Structure 1
Amino acid sequence: MTTELRELRPAEWDYWYGRLELAFGGVAEPPEERELYRDLTEYARSIGVWDGEECVGTTGAFSFRLSVPGGALVPTAGVTMVSVAATHRRRGVLSAMMRHQLDDVRGRGEPLAALTASEPDIYGRFGYGMATQQLSAEIDTARVRLAVPEGTDAVRLRFAEPAAVRDVCEAVYAQKVAGRPGMLARRTGWERLPVMDPESGRDGGSPLQCVLAERDGEVVGYARFHNMPEWDAAGPRGTIVLRDTEALDPAASAALWRFLFDIDLTSTLRVRNRPVDDGWQHLVSDIRRCGLRLKDSLYLRPVDVGPALEARTYAAPVEVVFEVEDPFCPWNEGRWRLTGDSTGASCKRTDDDADLALSVRELGAAYLGGVSFASLGAAGRVRELRQGALAEVSLAFSSAVAPWLPHGF
């Protein structure tokens, strides 16, 4: 097979994106979604593999800044739009795209690459490890009550048209980013994503609704949701589908959750993507009736081990030598001495004996603090070469709050 891998040209976007849609089943996305992603496409970071006139492979990347432990916003390649035509599988197309992409990411000085995986088993061989999970829930609000904290009644709630208050909601979101690893600092254009509301994405529910939480005239939180009315012989049994919510303090958060629980004519609250340590779980009267479920979310890869480990801080003082295996990005292979604490870190090459041996995939999984080295060690994915090193590193890499990716890309 003779193929050509090259940068996407703007005139090719519709065909290229159509080939991506075909690889994911052939159902065209809503026009609003196509328009958004056309506008967000970074052509210098978008790749097509061509067999003659036919595009048989696609991938791209967005230039993100990812929050890491310590609050730094680290330049990160958001890998996206990955597909290989069903006619061209097992011919090296994906490997060629990943090779080109990671070389480009390194050349741009981005120490991390991240993605969400349609099929998780694809990306481990390219060094991506599962770094965050997301919580979903289906809450029986007819039987579950909330015990809210002091100050909740002082929060004023009001409906607002989602697009009209997009900027104030973005301001709340922006204040939350540095405080939770895994969140994305949204660049210009990405503020359109949370309020995109194609009818096909509502599952029969209402147009997107928004409620603001205010205190002393200042917006301190918001919730965006769909209302899905339903009736049976016994009466109303509607469902609220929460799209997203953020709040700047516990009282504002509780006021929004209480509102969602109490909407008239509904008895179910469906929650799609929240942090695994989301605070509402400690307000409910019966957690068993909340239908909790976890799902993998962000997959992370250190592209340059030294700069990546220096970009974050550590929950406890740590000095450790990693023996890193990374055949796909061989510049990462070898021994690295990490010295760090809550104020900063240094990570340099060394010839000293290693304390822990692992692949770059495990390093990516543990990087944000959502997966512990102890857990990876128990699975045999990390080998302890110095007694006690595993416990030391597990504590140092931990995060006070669970890492979380608020939306896909």
Structure 2
Amino acid sequence: MALETRVLQPDEWDVWYDHLELAFGGVPESAEERGLYRSLTEAERSLGVWDGGTCVGSAGAFSFRLSVPGGALVPAAGVTMVGVAPTHRRRRVLTSLMRRQLDDVRAGGEPLAVLTASDPAIYGRFGYGQAVYGLAVEIDTARVRLDVPPGADEVRLRLVDPEAALADCERVYAALVPGRPGMPARQPGWERQPLLDAPSLRGSGSPLKCVVAERADGEVVGYARYRVAPEWNLSGSQGRVEVGDLDALDPAAYAALWRYLFGIDLTWSVRAVKRPVDDPVLHLVSDVRRSQARVRDAMYVRLVDLPAALEARAYGAALDVVLEVEDAFCPWNAGRWRLTADAKGGARCARTADPAELALTVRELGAAYLGGVALTALAGAGRVRELRPGAVAEASRAFTGDVAPWLPHGF
């Protein structure tokens, strides 16, 4: 029987999501998780592949607005819920889903598609570049001290119910989005994701806790959400603080929140994952080695409408370069493009017959797009070819940002 690919109907969601759970190992999610993701699913942007009455493939997209260098919020398809049943491997199910999805993204006028990858080897062949990295730390708080900046002692900290503090925390998050490429602006419903607190998500940790940082006038300028994981052995307490989110509008509040987490009774370490790779905490700690900093891939970027995407972001230096772009999966992007930009933020990208100065694939453009991956590094790996002397360094200076891109949560 031929496989059928079609847009998800709302009454098919449970069967479709059951398939997704199976594709990711078959461990059922909690009712709280399923309820949230059911409410966030955009059925009209979700695809299912069906073999008779059985769902054997899935892919969805969320309608995001993603911060890019310069602070603009650019429409982006947040690719999600991609899975293929183990019985239907090597039948081009994933390729057909990616083909249909990217065609739909283009038709909908979104310049970008972004995703997090369960397997980093999968998506390069569809033009996704590894653009955002995440930092994880596990800090030995018995041996590591914090050197906090002036003003931290004046910050008021208050332990609050995570639900009651949600609006204040969201205001802090929203204020940070334009200054950090890669952050999605919260669309309605997404503010609920950080509050997921099903027992199955806690591991050995406590229910979710929240502390807010306030100025003297009571304005909330930062927050941390965390759990405490108690542990005991013959030597006594060995507890750990597990940080979910920590955001602040100024250095004093930021440092005060970390100091609070370091000082929680009966704990001896603080673990935080999904932090930006240039997180200032690395410069607050007295011993970075005992902070066990680790970096891994976080988000992949795909330019769907190449000229629109390159014109949407700002550049850190004036640039005039001709790019020879290879894009086998989305051939409308392939060819020669002249990208011109000035340091004030304006950019223009148009087709040209002029001689190429840099040659690369759309995957490399996606990797460099948010400013966190240098074109010089990609050239060093042989993935960008310089056809005019000096062109790589010029383009790399213009593309690279002042702060590392960051994806604060999955999707």
Q: TM-score if structure 2 supplies the norm length? A: 0.99
Question: Corresponding residue for 1:338?
Answer: 339
The separation in 2 between residues aligned to 1:285 and 1:204, in whole angstroms, is 28
C-alpha deviation, 1:112, in angstroms: 0.3
The separation in 1 between residues aligned to 2:388 and 2:15, in whole angstroms, is 54
Question: Corresponding residue for 2:103?
Answer: 103
Question: Corresponding residue for 1:182?
Answer: 182
The separation in 2 between residues aligned to 1:134 and 1:298, in whole angstroms, is 9
C-alpha deviation, 1:197, in angstroms: 0.6
1:380 aligned partner, one-letter code: G
C-alpha deviation, 1:185, in angstroms: 0.2
- Taking the TM superposition and a 5 Å limit, the aligned residue runs for 1:256-267 are 256-267=257-268
Question: Corresponding residue for 1:400?
Answer: 402
Question: Corresponding residue for 1:147?
Answer: 147
Matched, 1:228 2:237: no
Structure 1, residues 198-228: CA drift from partner, whole Å, max 9, x if none? 1111111110000000002100000000001
1:196 aligned partner, one-letter code: L
The separation in 1 between residues aligned to 2:377 and 2:14, in whole angstroms, is 44
Segments of 5+ residues of structure 2 without an aligned counterpart are: none
The separation in 1 between residues aligned to 2:118 and 2:346, in whole angstroms, is 35
C-alpha deviation, 1:341, in angstroms: 2.2
Matched, 1:389 2:391: yes
The separation in 1 between residues aligned to 2:299 and 2:93, in whole angstroms, is 23
Question: Corresponding residue for 1:361?
Answer: 363
- Taking the TM superposition and a 5 Å limit, the aligned residue runs for 1:66-81 are 66-81=66-81
The separation in 2 between residues aligned to 1:231 and 1:119, in whole angstroms, is 35
C-alpha deviation, 1:231, in angstroms: 1.9
2:399 aligned partner, one-letter code: F
The separation in 2 between residues aligned to 1:164 and 1:151, in whole angstroms, is 26
C-alpha deviation, 1:236, in angstroms: 1.6
3-state SS of paired residue (2:323): strand
Matched, 1:306 2:307: yes
Between the aligned residues of both structures, percent identity stands at 66
Matched, 1:40 2:1: no
Matched, 1:245 2:225: no
3-state SS of paired residue (2:286): coil
3-state SS of paired residue (2:121): helix
The separation in 1 between residues aligned to 2:391 and 2:401, in whole angstroms, is 18
C-alpha deviation, 1:164, in angstroms: 1.1
1:251 aligned partner, one-letter code: A
Matched, 1:380 2:410: no
The separation in 2 between residues aligned to 1:20 and 1:349, in whole angstroms, is 41
Question: Corresponding residue for 2:163?
Answer: 163
Structure 1, residues 361-396: CA drift from partner, whole Å, max 9, x if none? 000000001110000000000000000000000100
Question: Corresponding residue for 2:16?
Answer: 16
C-alpha deviation, 1:234, in angstroms: 2.2
3-state SS of paired residue (1:32): helix
Question: Corresponding residue for 2:277?
Answer: 276
Structure 1, residues 31-82: CA drift from partner, whole Å, max 9, x if none? 1010000000101100001111111100000000000000000000000000
Segments of 5+ residues of structure 1 without an aligned counterpart are: none
3-state SS of paired residue (1:131): strand
3-state SS of paired residue (1:314): coil
2:63 aligned partner, one-letter code: S
RMSD: 0.7
The separation in 1 between residues aligned to 2:322 and 2:50, in whole angstroms, is 43
The separation in 2 between residues aligned to 1:210 and 1:2, in whole angstroms, is 51
The separation in 2 between residues aligned to 1:11 and 1:231, in whole angstroms, is 48
Question: Corresponding residue for 1:85?
Answer: 85
